Amino acid sequence: MFPHERSLVERLKNEPFAILGINTDDNGPDFYRHEAKENGISWRSAMDGSKTGPICTKWGVTGFPTLYLIDAKGIIRQFWLGSPGDEVLDKEIDKLVAEAKAKAK
């Protein structure tokens, strides 16, 4: 999903939007930093250390990708286990960005 995530970050760079990635590789932070650089990952990412790490466990992650779409109030508005497809994801993100912008006025 890195190419689509990069496109979202670029397209929404001046909007109320953020991506947070959770890395489950058990190869350590140096490996992840290398992978992030190689894949152009510029957004925040946390290390969970494994697929059974504390973040995955707390959020109930059972497969990948797991996507949570969270609104400006911190409410989970959508959840997907597996990619919903770029068009569906973009539509739902754009809807929440528009809501956040309308409330900010």
Map out the domains of the chain as residue ranges.
2-104
Q: Which CATH class is domain 2-104?
A: alpha beta
Over residues 4-24, the pLDDT tens digits come to 999 999 999 999 999 999 988
How many helices and strands, by DSSP H and E, does the chain display?
4, 4
pLDDT at 74: 95
Alpha helices in 1-105 (DSSP H): 2-11, 29-39, 54-59, 86-104
Q: Please, which pLDDT band fits residue 31 given cuts at 50, 70 and 90?
A: confident
Among candidates 96, 43, 103, which has minimal Cα distance to 69?
A: 96
* Structure-token pair, residue 20: 């947070």
Could you tell me the pLDDT band of residue 32, with boundaries at 50, 70 and 90?
A: confident
Token pair 């760079």 in the structure block, residue: 13
